[in-house]
Amino acid sequence: MTPVVQLKAVTREFAGTAAVREVDLTVTRGQFVALLGPSGCGKTTTLRMIAGYLQPTSGTILLEGRDATRLPPERRNIGMVFQSYALFPHMTVAKNVAFGLQMRKVPAAQIRTRVHEALDLVGLAHLADRRPQQLSGGQQQRVALARAIAARPAVLLLDEPLSNLDARLRVQMRQELLRIQRETGITAILVTHDQEEALELADSMVILDRGRVVQQGHPREVFRAPRTRFVAEFLGYENFLDLPGRGRITIRPEHVDVVEHDAAPPAGGESVTGTVAAVRFRGTDCVVTVDVGGQNVLATTTNDSLRAGSPVRLFLPLDRAISLTGTDSVPGDGGQGTPSLQHQQESPA
Ligand SMILES: Nc1ncnc2c1ncn2[C@@H]1O[C@H](COP(=O)(O)OP(=O)(O)OP(=O)(O)O)[C@@H](O)[C@H]1O
Ligand SMILES: [Mg+2]
């Protein structure tokens, strides 16, 4: 099947500095792809190139199999929802949704049908005659979505469409977005720096770091097997250890066992000793921060006799440890390291 969107080695520089570097991306029909990464990593720049508002410095953009690298936005059949909804304040909701169709000289009867369908889809048909300022943030967001969908684009680009909403509404709109995408089967690329949003919505997740794709795959797969420390940290992993012979690993605090410092460690894992630096009670258990050779490792435990200064041993079951096999360095950057841990040789009993 021909991909709807394909980027081949797309690079965009601003004044000699690359904001997007050699990005390859393939989006197939009906896919919901999330572009994820910290502020400034090149998400919006990537979307703007796909939409045609910005030209790549090098590389190729194919839309439905055709080279669209130099095609103007109006000839790309792409819908875009921006972070700020960019609604026309003086027009009613219905007119806002109709605007793009009128520009494209769609027959009036068809515009009426499509506007109604789109507003119906986002649950706003009853507010068609209101003006944007008479709507809540979530409703305005839906109008922007309806406007993009009414044009029946081959692909819908969403640039942090939920970031202006409060936390509760954001979670609610996520579900709405998912429903709308499933109902219409529309191909969509969602930009977000919220990993939860990506995990919940996308069937493919692309993580960007300083303009480069560092990992992509099904959200579950990326979450279970982050390749680098950057990806792992971005997905909320907190413990990073360099284990001699095993390389760099990450492990969730709930999978680290806190045992007596002089206990014989169980087989099937690594064990390190350290000193409790802090204890945070959470009711049923507590999170302890353990200083291991100058590096903090978090673990959860129900042992409430631990105090700052207590010597402990941490057991890291190997089946829970995730090996971080990739490096985060980008050519031209210094890279980031994890200090190495003192290894304690264990002989399983
Ligand atoms: N028009 C421009 N001129 C110069 N530099 C730009 C321009 N647009 C973007 N950049 C730079 O390119 C880099 C990527 O910007 P971009 O807007 O794509 O980031 P982003 O991932 O969308 O970030 P955010 O999450 O903050 O929206 C940034 O360093 C930014 O300063
Ligand atoms: Mg952006």
Q: Which pair of structure tokens corresponds to residue 36?
A: 């994820």
Which residues, in sequence order, are CB contacts of 57 under 8 Å at separation 6+?
11, 12, 13, 18
Domain end, chosen from 224, 259, 292, is at 224
Residue 33 included in any domain:
yes
Q: Please state, in angstroms and rounded to a whole number, the distance separating the CA atoms of residues 48 and 73.
A: 9
Whether 75 and 173 share a structural domain: yes
Is the C-beta atom of 51 inside 6 A of ligand 1?
Answer: no
Given this model, what pLDDT does residue 338 score? 42
Distance CA 316, CA 250 (A): 10
The boundaries of the domain holding residue 220 are 5-224
HEC readout, the chain: CCCCEEEEEEEEEECCEEEEEEEEEEECCCCEEEEECCCCCCHHHHHHHHHCCCCCCEEEEEECCEECCCCCHHHCCEEEECCCCCCCCCCCHHHHHHHHHHHCCCCHHHHHHHHHHHHHHCCCHHHCCCCHHHCCHHHHHHHHHHHHHHCCCCEEEEECCCCCCCHHHHHHHHHHHHHHHHHHCCEEEEEECCHHHHHHHCCEEEEEECCEEEEEECHHHHHHCCCCHHHHHHCCCCEEEEECCCEEEEECHHHCEEEECCCCCCCCEEEEEEEEEEEEECCCCEEEEEEECCEEEEEEECCCCCCCCCEEEEEEECCCCEECCCCCCCCCCCCCCCCCCCCCCCCCC
Q: Is the distance from the beta carbon of residue 12 to the nearest atom of ligand 1 less than 6 Å? A: no
Give domain status of residue 185, yes or no: yes
- Identify whether residues 146 and 250 lie together within a single domain: no
Residues 38 and 136 in one domain: yes
Last residue of a domain, one of 169, 196, 224: 224
In a domain, 338, yes or no: no
pLDDT value, residue 330: 60
Q: Clarify whether residues 307 and 197 are in a common domain.
A: no
Do 112 and 218 lie in one domain? The reply is yes
Token pair listed for 241: 């250890």
Same domain assignment for residues 262 and 202: no
- Do residue 60 and residue 110 come from a single domain? yes
Please tell me if the CB atom of residue 313 comes closer than 6 angstroms to any atom of ligand 1: no
* Ligand 1 pocket mutation pick from 7, 11, 17, 41 by most atoms within 8 angstroms of CB: 41
- 193 in ligand 1 pocket by Cβ < 6 Å? yes
Closest-CA residue to 219 (of 233, 243, 202):
202
Residue 55 included in any domain: yes
Consecutive 10-residue averages of pLDDT for the chain (349 residues): 95 96 97 95 96 97 96 92 85 95 92 94 93 90 91 92 81 88 93 90 95 95 94 93 88 92 82 94 92 93 91 93 85 45 42
Q: What is the number of alpha carbons within 13 Å of residue 145 lying toward its C-beta?
A: 29
Same domain, 220 and 242: no
**CATH code, 166:** 3.40.50.300
Strands 5-14 and 17-27: antiparallel
Q: Could you tell me if residue 349 is inside a domain?
A: no
How many C-beta neighbours within 10 Å does residue 296 have?
14
Per-residue pLDDT, 45? 96
Number of domains in the chain: 2
The answer to whether the CB of 44 is under 6 A from ligand 1 is yes
Q: Does 148 share its domain with 28?
A: yes
CA-nearest residue for atom 24, ligand 1, is 39
Q: Is residue 332 part of a domain?
A: no
Residues 104 and 152 sit within 8 Å (Cβ to Cβ) = no
The minimum-distance atom of ligand 1 relative to the CA of 38 is 25
pLDDT value, residue 267: 82
Mutating to test ligand 1, I would choose from 20, 23, 43 the residue with most ligand atoms within 8 A of its C-beta, which is 43
Tokens of 57: 């410095």
